[in-house]
Chain A
Amino acid sequence: MWTYIIVGITFALYIGIAIWTRAGSTKEFYVAGGGVSSLANGMATAADWMSAASFISMAGLISFMGYDGAVYLMGWTGGYVLLALLLAPYLRKFGKFTVPDFIGDRYYSNTARTVAIVCAIIVSFTYVAGQMRGVGVVFSRFLEVSIEMGVVIGMIIVLFYAVLGGMKGITYTQVAQYCVLIIAYMVPAIFISMALTGNVFPQLGFGSTLNDGSGVYLLDKLDKLNTDLGFAAYTDGTKSVIDVFAITFALMVGTAGLPHVIVRFFTVPKVKDARKSAGYALIFIAILYTTAPAIAAFARTNLINTVSNKPYNEMPEWFRKWEQTKLIKFEDKNGDGIIQYVKDKEANELTVDNDIMVLANPEIANLPNWVIALVAAGGLAAALSTAAGLLLVISTSISHDLIKKQLNPNISEKGELLYARLAAAGAVVVAGYFGINPPGFVAAVVALAFGLAAASFFPAIIMGIFYKRMNKEGAVSGMIVGMLFMLYYMLKFKFGMFDGGKEAVEGLKDGWWFGISPEGFGTVAMVANFVVALIVSRFTPAPPESVQHIVEDIRIPRGAGTAHAH
């Protein structure tokens, strides 16, 4: 009941903003007229960035991974340093509307532009399918509608404010969505932190002693709880050092190469605002990202304390309820009526889904119903905000980079705007289709998106800014090699495509190159891109003088106009 009310209120808010921000020009549709304050942009970027995965799944993932969860915590925040220092200010000075715009103009080639368009669309579509699915899942868990219906409702809402307001509509709804999602995330976290450790700040509670009078530190207790059951100590993790390094690096660099994140920095008025708004974005992101590992530790402690070696019929209310959704499963293998939750696969009787750690948190902490409703609204806010950002990239790639810049340069402003809206609508429908019929590998495919961005865009943009001599032949070969290399490794080691399919994947792990997982391989593919690009550019002509002047010009802040059409 509460859920309908709270979710309904948030949706009404988004729709209201959409109407207020209708876009009247391509500049408004693509870059929100270039007038977004760095603070608002920071908040919008944070919401755009934090997807359903960040909100729902990440804390759960970390609680099962322990120390290894740091790959996500550092990987998904460290990229903002790269954005702020190496990308945002220069791209803002460049003054274009999209990433393929930059690639196409900097490398004076429509081939480069097209390769960039293809990369942008692949990366964004893979990512957005996961979001729409996430919307459907939240709806089905909390609002008692089918997943399909949930996806459709989500599609309609996004369609409305994306098609009507373009980047402007999306930006301000994202600001609202950030507020919703951060409150929804923090409220249960604060309550649980107080209950478990007496500390109102989860970040501090994470490192403090338990509230039960024992004086034992939470993390020490958790290490022991884990090792007693055969799991690795929570603060140790299980991945190899090189894999942790590779995955973290791929995620950081991938972050800085994602088109839907980069494009946010085109919307601020000045170069110095671009630098600052990356900082603000990180602050807003960090509020959630420093809370998540705390929630992870609290949830894991609570879970083990509640279920391990306890009789099944003494399990609390929340256990029963979530059993029905199949997110938690008990199989009494030894018939003793007691739950054995252990590492050893043979003896283990309990299967727990990642997502429960956040979704069931409010119930585990005995919080009132409206908090649960808030979590639903927060999850939806996270998914919708990210979906919208991605859809805009797809739509502008088509209307601006493909049609206006290549196929039909004489198209009028009104015509381009119309195509942008049609493309946005089309992209929503396709994304919705994938949300309803997800290819079985949605989560894996989001990891692929990061690897692709790391392997294709990041090197091309970095070299475009910092290395005047990088020419179109080098950049294009680098991007293509990086992309193909990444795709190959992913298809082989994540999907087992060349060795008989999914069943083969486990056995292939010994064959990982350098001991690096597919999630970490973006780092290697990125290096390949740089190497190939540098070699090829040596043997091919330098860029024309005019382009070299462009590069010199983007290094100077003064003269950054409002982002303009060309």
Chain B
Amino acid sequence: MAEKNLQQYWKKNLNYLFILLGVWFLCSYGAGIFFKDALNNFKIGGFKLGFWFAQQGSIYIFIIIIFAYVSLMNKLDQEFDVHED
């Protein structure tokens, strides 16, 4: 495995982390805390939007983030030939 390849692999990994953690931060601290009052002007069903993110929505998004990461990394591992078995 070329040294350069491993560095590339790690760089791409970090990129994914940046993006996914960005989403993590925005949906919870952003939508659920800092911007909740502004978002509360909108409703989704019986939920004020900010409140919904804080008490339910962000949790769904966390799950999606993790599985997105799993899928991206599985592909990346294959691409750089560092996958197990």
A558 within 8 A of B: yes
Bound-state CA distance A81–B24 (Å) is 8
Q: Are B58 and A78 in contact (CB under 8 A)?
A: yes
Contact flag A84-B66 (CB < 8 Å), given A207-B46, A241-B34:
yes
Q: Which residue of A lies closest to B45 (CB)?
A: A207
A555 within 8 A of B: yes
A77 within 8 A of B: yes
Bound-state CA distance A84–B69 (Å) is 8
| Residue in A209, A235, A278, A289 whose Cβ sees the most chain B Cβ within 10 Å | A235
Q: Are A70 and B55 in contact (CB under 8 A)?
A: yes
Contacts of A289 in B (CB 8 A): 59
Identify B46's interface contact among A86, A217, A278, A556, CB under 8 A.
A217
A161 within 8 A of B: no
Q: Are B33 and A244 in contact (CB under 8 A)?
A: yes
Q: How far is the CB of B42 from chain A (nearest CB, A)?
A: 13
Bound-state CA distance A248–B21 (Å) is 15
A14 within 8 A of B: no
Q: Mask for A283-312, Cβ within 8 A of B = 1, else 0?
A: 100100110010000000000000000000
Q: Are A245 and B29 in contact (CB under 8 A)?
A: yes
A499 within 8 A of B: no
Q: Are A74 and B59 in contact (CB under 8 A)?
A: yes
Identify B6's interface contact among A67, A279, A293, A556, CB under 8 A.
A556
Q: Which residue of B lies closest to A219 (CB)?
A: B46
Bound-state CA distance A370–B67 (Å) is 37
Q: Are B66 and A207 in contact (CB under 8 A)?
A: no
B15 within 8 A of A: no
Q: Are B73 and A235 in contact (CB under 8 A)?
A: no
Q: Which residue of B lies closest to A276 (CB)?
A: B70
Q: How large is the interface on A (under 10, 10 to 19, 20 to 34, 35 or more residues)?
A: 35 or more
Bound-state CA distance A559–B40 (Å) is 49
Q: Mask for A520-560, Cβ within 8 A of B = 1, else 0?
A: 00000000000000000000000000000000100111111
A331 within 8 A of B: no
Contacts of B47 in A (CB 8 A): 206-207, 219
Bound-state CA distance A208–B62 (Å) is 23
Bound-state CA distance A253–B46 (Å) is 31
Contacts of A282 in B (CB 8 A): 62-63, 66
Bound-state CA distance A228–B32 (Å) is 26
17 further A-B contacts with Cβ under 8 Å, apart from A219-B46, A219-B51, are A67-B54, A74-B28, A74-B59, A81-B65, A85-B66, A203-B56, A206-B47, A207-B44, A207-B46, A207-B52, A208-B45, A217-B46, A220-B46, A235-B51, A245-B33, A556-B82, A558-B83
Interchain Cβ contacts under 8 Å between A and B, 28 examples = A70-B54, A73-B56, A73-B59, A74-B32, A80-B66, A81-B65, A86-B17, A89-B73, A206-B46, A206-B56, A207-B46, A207-B52, A235-B51, A241-B34, A248-B28, A272-B70, A272-B77, A272-B84, A279-B63, A279-B66, A279-B67, A286-B62, A286-B63, A290-B56, A293-B55, A293-B56, A555-B13, A557-B84
